[in-house]
Chains A and B, each alone.
Chain A
Amino acid sequence: MNRRDFFKIVGATGAAAATAGCQGAGEHILPLVVPNEQLVPGVASWFATVCRECPAGCGVLARNRDGRVVKLEGNPDHPVNAGALCIRGQAALQGLYHPDRFAGPLVRAGGGLTPATWENAQKLVVERLAALRGAGKGRAVALVTQLEQGSLGVLADRWTQALGARPHVTLEPFAYEAIRAASRITFGRDAIPYYALEEAQVVVSFGADFVETWLSTVGYTRAFARMHAFRDGRAGTFIHVEPRQSLTASNADEWVRNAPGTEGMVALAVLRLMLEEGLGDRRFADAVARVDVKQVAERSGVAEATLRHLARAFGHARPGLAIGGGVAVSGTNATETQVAINLLNAAAGNVGRTVRFGPDSAYGRVTPYAEVAQLVQAMQRGEIEVLLLGQGVNPVHALPAGLGFAEAARRVGLVVSLATQPDETTALAHVILPDTHWLEAWGDYAPREGVTGLLQPTMSPVRDARPLGDVLLAVGRAVLGSEEGKGPLPWASFEQYLKAAWEPVVRGQWAAALRQGGVWRDVAPAAVQATAGPLAAGAAALEGDAGGFALLAYPSLRFYDGRGASRAWLQEAPDTMTQAVWDAWVEVPAEAAARLGVATGDVVRVSSPHGALELPAYVSATLHPQAVAIPLGHRYAPYHVPRYVAAAPTAMSPAALLGPATDAASGGAAWLGVRVTLARTGARRPLAILQATHDQDHRELAQHVDLRAAREQALRGRAGRHETISMYADQVYPGYHWGLAIDVDACVGCQACVVACQAENNVAVTGKASAAYGRQLHWIRIERWAEGPAAHPTNTFLPMLCQHCEVAPCEPVCPVFAAYRTEEGLNGQVYNRCVGTRYCGNNCPYHVRRFNWFQYEFPAPLEVQLNPDVTVRQLGIMEKCTMCIQRIIAGKDHARDAKRTVRDGDILTACQQTCPTRAITFGNLTDDTSAVTGLRHSPRAYTVLEELGTRPGVTYLKKVVREHA
């Protein structure tokens, strides 16, 4: 049986069950007359595919249980993410099972959208297209999709050519065009290179927020951990320049706060000083001859001493790496800034070593913003009659309001959306032909040269959806009047097209390529020569009130450009820096807040020349005093209101404030482009902030050690450790003793584990009010603890979960033995026995036990995602981290079948599995050779609140802090 037959059978049974479950229609139970040997009830199948939540294109393994995908994990073989997934990747399931997903095609009739058949809906489009083609007005047709760097993109190009339409536009709001343009200018190569963070000794980032969204979050975070985490006495240094203390800045050994828009001049000053110190290639001296370091220090607010220190640190590194181009700092001078960064790399001899052309990023293939703007202008002029918008694009929400997309779209005769769920753009659409979710579709995607991932359906479609490729083929043929097998679009389906396209590559090894998740090869680095003319140090030009605040509109780790915002898991996972969930906010510098008389939670009116937003303030001591910051992409899905949030507020994304300004040299959107004014409204909208305080109050929850001391201890061991003394005998572990080790030094606070745990363990979503009131249910949380001066704190991220204490305070107080100690060192929780006295919750010093305050629901069809191996908890009972007991059981079964004991790697907890930095290690503490035992005896090891004598099974490794200059 081949895979297609398999899917037919799964489809016949699964689709009926799944769709019936989704739509609440009558149930159709079909007997599985011919049992499928690949489908064993109760045993999961894994399908390799590619995550399409952003253009990073990480490899994914989808866990399919009885025809339904219940969990996503990173594909360990994939070169981009090597097994890890970010928070958005983990939450992709909520897009697949989204309660608002379109149930089928819709056609606008009399103002509202009404259901239609595929035939009728497609006919509407076909007729219009055929008419235009007949009238020779093919140019009035535009096709806009997200970045499809693969066969679908090629097919789309072919389709537009066949129909004589405008060239296919790939729309990615964040396209890093400045990097591309600067590469063109400095190196003569129109590409975004691969930055080998993992090989650098010193990384200097000028606003490149790689922990959050920059280019390839998982890939670069992983590389960063390899470069930066303390290992064998070695650790790299990371310096970050940004006006705002972002999550990436928090992970830097040194965060340098500069005035908004001055990254370029800082880079040039660093280059000049570096050359002055004789630490770089003198060929570039001319380029920075006109740079006045004093003036740069004055204008950027970065002290000359700091600049010199940066120059020395960077110049001495062998090799170093300078990166830039983060969305939040991409202003009108973004290309100049990036050119300066290129020169830094070139002067330090990093090009070809840590800056590698060859394995170029797919971002370099995005349609330039200038062309998008041209399309919008054409729409405005009424030149576009049919606009087809693929899934994943929501230009009305994601593009700067100043571009005027929404207005322009209203002048288009027929807007066809292929989105999977309603958004601001589908609200303007006339016909909706819902695309399949990427977990249901065939495809391929190449995130960078040399790496092409394969997408395959991991389950039958949840809703009545058709893949974009099939729709293009069907519509195209109907318009052209050609038959299947003939004409420019002969393929019966996109799947057939894909296989035909791949045949020369895989040469019959299709199944193997699918199993691996794609094909990859090493790409030889391309040699490039840097050339540079004299450069001037300019700041970004900002539009608006000169006395106002520079608006830092930054893409968020959780929502990207807004694609993630419809997922309730992402809404409820806190933003690590503010620990806020659900609502959006405007980060206001403390001085300005005091002047305005606003506190956190007071609604502030933020006005720019292009619009205004009313958002609750978040008062920040760290933000540059001349800036305010608002995360991009905040929006709610229809089903979130009023279930999780009280009322639908108006726009929350700062895209509404941005103008049409662009970076002149690259044509890319200037996300840092306006100044805004703030006004107090007098209203209050308290934010749901999960962490009560970022001050540890000397409790040493998150501990750190000096790099020098860590080296010393790594060499000689740590003195002065004492074992806890007790009158009672230690617990004896006859078999296993499960334990976790968490490296605080490696944790970057990305929250991927939080959502991975939520997906694995059926953790419910509670909504804003509950979360604000300490009733969130996450089994693991990432805490941010700040130390040092309020304006410039050192942040430590502490993942906190059940500590599985040997002397657990929760256990003796439970009157009914619902909380008990297992023989394998876990704090068990028997849901059926729990009466709900909540005594354990009070007595847990870590407060990691979670109570079911209500009967939490999983709105259909989200219940299909529930992990069948984990109980769904009833109201009135306690729950908490089980160390993924279901995985432990499966791992033990597996080892028993192999007639051996469990080894490292047999069992990965969900949080460990997805961690991009490998900060979490699970294993058997009775095994002296296991990794976790080794870490438990590391000189950096400590347990949280050790003085209470709880003897946790979770060991933490201290963060290693660098001596500052």
Chain B
Amino acid sequence: MSDQPTGTPTFADVNRDVLRTLEPPGHRYFAWMSVVALILAGGILFWTGQVWWGIGMAGKRVPQMWALYITTFVFWIGIGHAGTLISAVLYLFRARWRTSIYRAAEAMTIFAVLTAGLFPLIHAGRMWFAYFLLPYPNQRYLWPNFRSPLVWDVFAISTYLSISTVFFIVGLVPDIAALRDASTGWRRRIYALLALGWEGSDNQWRHYRRAYGLFAALATPLVLSVHSVVSWDFAMALVPGWHSTLFAPFFVDGAIFSGFAMVAVLVLPMRHFFGLHAYIRDKHLDAMSKLILVTSLVLTYFYLSEIFTALYSGDHFEKASLFWKVTRTYAWALWLMYFCNCIAPLIFFVKKARTHPVVIYVVSILVLIGMWFERFNIIVPSLAHGFYPYTWGIFVPSPTDTGIVIGSFAWFFLLFLGFIKLMPSLSIVEVKETLPPPMRDTRHGAHH
């Protein structure tokens, strides 16, 4: 490969470079942490206000009983998808370019799901009774309504969170053992606990590999199922613009699309600030860019199908809803979405763009914006122009819901910033696997 950097790192380089990311952080890191924590504190204050005074503090109304919270919820769930896809699906397909990014992607998944999981609580009118959605035994024999897609959500998301957490921890075990051996004090004790007595024996490696493969196989269907279930929140409803069988694959593709964009947004600065160019190479960027391009094309196809279905069905309500979305109050959001999700990624047809970090970064940011607006466009404008003309209306965000949504980003980045200083954000083990081992012929290991 011509774009391969000249200096291939050795095993020692890997240890050094990865562990360097865990060195006590500098002022800049803490500055970032403070900024993020401050924004999060603002979000928490807004939430407190909303719990105290009522959901009316958020800009919701009739007909938009759902708005920014569910938009952001679906957005974060979508973000979470790339992690599992990279770690499990690509693992099973033996796509070795995943190794340098999958740890960050998995962490991102968990944090994204943790962020997303807050939104049903934030959204509920009486969040203190949200536990009613859990099927817990009680003396009144009251169960949740298993016909409701919201209950399916509860199961889908909790399953997803637990599987990806286990998968993440299992993948971490050998690396944590390495950290344990390299650290002292309280860190050592924590790492020792998390390493589960890892010694690196052949036996352990054999079990580890089997378990990892098994979890990968278990997690794979979740990539499809979780976002399908989330999409049914809409598809199962009657609202024009929601009631569509297209939604499950449409959502899954969109999730992968946005997930990869988020991975790029997180990994590129990591590579820059920690000097990980030797591990996150141009070929990795190229592969990610290609995936973003492919999922973008598929998404474009879905958009076209959506429009076609509405027109071809002859359904008055669907057509009215579509025309309204395309031309009226929220048309800017729709066209912004089309630009970000369908037009912007086309630049990846140019080979140079696929490896240019700035281009990838900008496109990824656009994709994230576009995908947030995709969910916005599904929820807010569809509800704005539903069956009943009497209640047609325009949603206007309030400081509360805007603040909480921004706060959720802060929460996500806070978790991620913590992660990169506490855990090896590159998999030491897997990166080493891709390198030519010492004392071995370099022709065997380098390429795939």
- Interface of A toward B, CB cutoff 8 Å: 690-693, 695-699, 701, 770, 773-775, 781, 783, 800, 809, 812-817, 833-839, 841-843, 845-847, 850-855, 874-878, 945, 948
* Residues A851 and B62 in contact, CB atoms below 8 Å apart: yes
Q: A691-B390, A699-B316, A842-B65 are in contact. Are A812 and B147 (CB under 8 A)?
A: yes
**Bound Cα distance A855, B57 (Å):** 11
Contacts of B320 in A (CB 8 A): 697
Query: Quick one: which of A775, A813, A846, A854 contacts B236, CB cutoff 8 A?
Result: A813
* Residues A851 and B392 in contact, CB atoms below 8 Å apart: no
Q: In whole Å, how far is A305's beta carbon from the nearest beta carbon of chain B?
A: 35
* Residues A835 and B130 in contact, CB atoms below 8 Å apart: yes
**Bound Cα distance A697, B147 (Å):** 33
* Residues A839 and B150 in contact, CB atoms below 8 Å apart: yes
* Residues B61 and A775 in contact, CB atoms below 8 Å apart: yes
Query: Quick one: which of A697, A833, A855 contacts B54, CB cutoff 8 A?
Result: A855
Q: A815-B151, A835-B129, A845-B388 are in contact. Are A774 and B145 (CB under 8 A)?
A: no
* Contact of B335 with A by CB under 8 A: no
**Bound Cα distance A812, B53 (Å):** 29
Query: Quick one: which of B60, B133, B388, B396 contacts A815, CB cutoff 8 A?
Result: B133
Q: A775-B61, A835-B124, A842-B66 are in contact. Are A770 and B390 (CB under 8 A)?
A: no
* Residues A838 and B125 in contact, CB atoms below 8 Å apart: yes
Contacts of B127 in A (CB 8 A): 835-836
Report the nearest B residue to A817, measured CB to CB: B145
* Residues B387 and A945 in contact, CB atoms below 8 Å apart: yes
Interface residues of B in 363-413 (CB under 8 A from A): 383, 386-393, 396
Chosen A-B contacts, 24 in total, with CB atoms closer than 8 Å, are A690-B390, A693-B389, A696-B389, A701-B389, A774-B62, A781-B390, A812-B147, A812-B236, A813-B149, A816-B145, A817-B142, A835-B132, A836-B124, A837-B120, A839-B66, A841-B65, A845-B238, A846-B387, A847-B62, A847-B63, A853-B54, A875-B125, A876-B126, A877-B126
Report the nearest A residue to B387, measured CB to CB: A845
Q: In whole Å, how far is A621's beta carbon from the nearest beta carbon of chain B?
A: 18
**Bound Cα distance A800, B62 (Å):** 15
**Bound Cα distance A770, B53 (Å):** 14
* Residues A842 and B383 in contact, CB atoms below 8 Å apart: yes
Q: A701-B388, A812-B145, A836-B126 are in contact. Are A852 and B393 (CB under 8 A)?
A: no
**Bound Cα distance A945, B238 (Å):** 12
Q: In whole Å, how far is A712's beta carbon from the nearest beta carbon of chain B?
A: 28
Among B65, B154, B236, B316, the one with the most A-chain Cβ atoms within 10 Å of its Cβ is B65
Report the nearest B residue to A696, measured CB to CB: B389
Contacts of A773 in B (CB 8 A): 61, 393, 396
Q: In whole Å, how far is A585's beta carbon from the nearest beta carbon of chain B?
A: 20
Contacts of A833 in B (CB 8 A): 132, 142
* Contact of B123 with A by CB under 8 A: yes
**Bound Cα distance A846, B238 (Å):** 11
Report the nearest A residue to B320, measured CB to CB: A697
Report the nearest A residue to B53, measured CB to CB: A854
**Bound Cα distance A837, B233 (Å):** 12
* Contact of B239 with A by CB under 8 A: yes
* Residues B54 and A693 in contact, CB atoms below 8 Å apart: no
Per-residue CB contact flags for chain B residues 277-311 toward chain A (1 = under 8 Å, else 0) read: 00000000000000000000000000000000000
Query: Quick one: which of B62, B123, B150, B316 contacts A841, CB cutoff 8 A?
Result: B62
* Residues B237 and A814 in contact, CB atoms below 8 Å apart: no
Per-residue CB contact flags for chain B residues 65-94 toward chain A (1 = under 8 Å, else 0) read: 110000000000000000000000000000
* Contact of B10 with A by CB under 8 A: no
* Residues B237 and A692 in contact, CB atoms below 8 Å apart: no
Contacts of A814 in B (CB 8 A): 145, 148
**Bound Cα distance A852, B147 (Å):** 25
**Bound Cα distance A699, B280 (Å):** 57
**Bound Cα distance A852, B56 (Å):** 8
Q: In whole Å, how far is B39's beta carbon from the nearest beta carbon of chain A?
A: 26
Query: Quick one: which of B53, B237, B316, B391 contacts A839, CB cutoff 8 A?
Result: B237
Q: In whole Å, how far is A29's beta carbon from the nearest beta carbon of chain B?
A: 33
Closest 6 CB pairs of A and B: A836-B125, A853-B56, A876-B125, A838-B65, A774-B61, A692-B392
* Contacts beyond the supplied A812-B148, A837-B120, A853-B55: 10 A-B pairs with Cβ under 8 Å: A692-B392, A774-B62, A774-B393, A813-B148, A815-B133, A833-B142, A839-B233, A847-B386, A847-B387, A945-B387
B: contact size bracket? 35 or more
* Residues A693 and B392 in contact, CB atoms below 8 Å apart: yes
Interface residues of B in 305-332 (CB under 8 A from A): 316-317, 320
Query: Quick one: which of A698, A813, A835 contacts B133, CB cutoff 8 A?
Result: A835
* Residues A815 and B150 in contact, CB atoms below 8 Å apart: yes
Q: A692-B391, A845-B388, A853-B55 are in contact. Are A816 and B237 (CB under 8 A)?
A: no
* Contact of B5 with A by CB under 8 A: no
Q: In whole Å, how far is A832's beta carbon from the nearest beta carbon of chain B?
A: 9
Per-residue CB contact flags for chain B residues 109-126 toward chain A (1 = under 8 Å, else 0) read: 000000000001001111
* Residues A847 and B390 in contact, CB atoms below 8 Å apart: yes
* Residues A815 and B126 in contact, CB atoms below 8 Å apart: no
* Contact of B445 with A by CB under 8 A: no
- Interface of B toward A, CB cutoff 8 Å: 53-56, 60-63, 65-66, 120, 123-127, 129-130, 132-133, 142-145, 147-151, 154, 233, 236-239, 316-317, 320, 383, 386-393, 396
* Residues B126 and A835 in contact, CB atoms below 8 Å apart: yes
Report the nearest B residue to A776, measured CB to CB: B62
Report the nearest B residue to A812, measured CB to CB: B147
Query: Quick one: which of B124, B144, B148, B388 contacts A876, CB cutoff 8 A?
Result: B124
* Residues A847 and B391 in contact, CB atoms below 8 Å apart: yes
Contacts of B151 in A (CB 8 A): 815
Report the nearest B residue to A820, measured CB to CB: B145
**Bound Cα distance A836, B391 (Å):** 20
* Residues A837 and B123 in contact, CB atoms below 8 Å apart: yes
**Bound Cα distance A835, B151 (Å):** 13
Report the nearest A residue to B148, measured CB to CB: A815
Q: In whole Å, how far is A693's beta carbon from the nearest beta carbon of chain B?
A: 5
Q: A693-B392, A696-B389 are in contact. Are A875 and B238 (CB under 8 A)?
A: no
**Bound Cα distance A567, B123 (Å):** 34
* Residues A783 and B390 in contact, CB atoms below 8 Å apart: yes
* Residues A815 and B144 in contact, CB atoms below 8 Å apart: yes
* Residues A851 and B148 in contact, CB atoms below 8 Å apart: no
Contacts of B54 in A (CB 8 A): 852-855, 875-876
Q: A693-B389, A775-B61 are in contact. Are A842 and B56 (CB under 8 A)?
A: no
Query: Quick one: which of B56, B125, B130 contacts A877, CB cutoff 8 A?
Result: B125
Among A781, A846, A851, the one with the most B-chain Cβ atoms within 10 Å of its Cβ is A851
**Bound Cα distance A847, B62 (Å):** 7
Q: A692-B389, A816-B133 are in contact. Are A837 and B124 (CB under 8 A)?
A: yes
Among A838, A845, A850, A874, the one with the most B-chain Cβ atoms within 10 Å of its Cβ is A838
Report the nearest B residue to A691, measured CB to CB: B390
**Bound Cα distance A814, B127 (Å):** 15
Contacts of A691 in B (CB 8 A): 390
Contacts of A853 in B (CB 8 A): 54-56, 60
* Residues A874 and B56 in contact, CB atoms below 8 Å apart: no
Contacts of B317 in A (CB 8 A): 699
Among A692, A698, A877, the one with the most B-chain Cβ atoms within 10 Å of its Cβ is A692
Q: In whole Å, how far is B120's beta carbon from the nearest beta carbon of chain A?
A: 8
Q: In whole Å, how far is A772's beta carbon from the nearest beta carbon of chain B?
A: 10
Contacts of A701 in B (CB 8 A): 388-390
* Residues A842 and B237 in contact, CB atoms below 8 Å apart: yes
**Bound Cα distance A43, B398 (Å):** 46
* Residues B126 and A874 in contact, CB atoms below 8 Å apart: yes
Contacts of A874 in B (CB 8 A): 126
* Residues A837 and B150 in contact, CB atoms below 8 Å apart: yes
**Bound Cα distance A775, B60 (Å):** 9
Contacts of A948 in B (CB 8 A): 238, 387
**Bound Cα distance A850, B118 (Å):** 25
Query: Quick one: which of A695, A842, A854, A876 contacts B63, CB cutoff 8 A?
Result: A842
**Bound Cα distance A775, B236 (Å):** 25
Contacts of A690 in B (CB 8 A): 390
Report the nearest B residue to A876, measured CB to CB: B125
**Bound Cα distance A854, B61 (Å):** 12
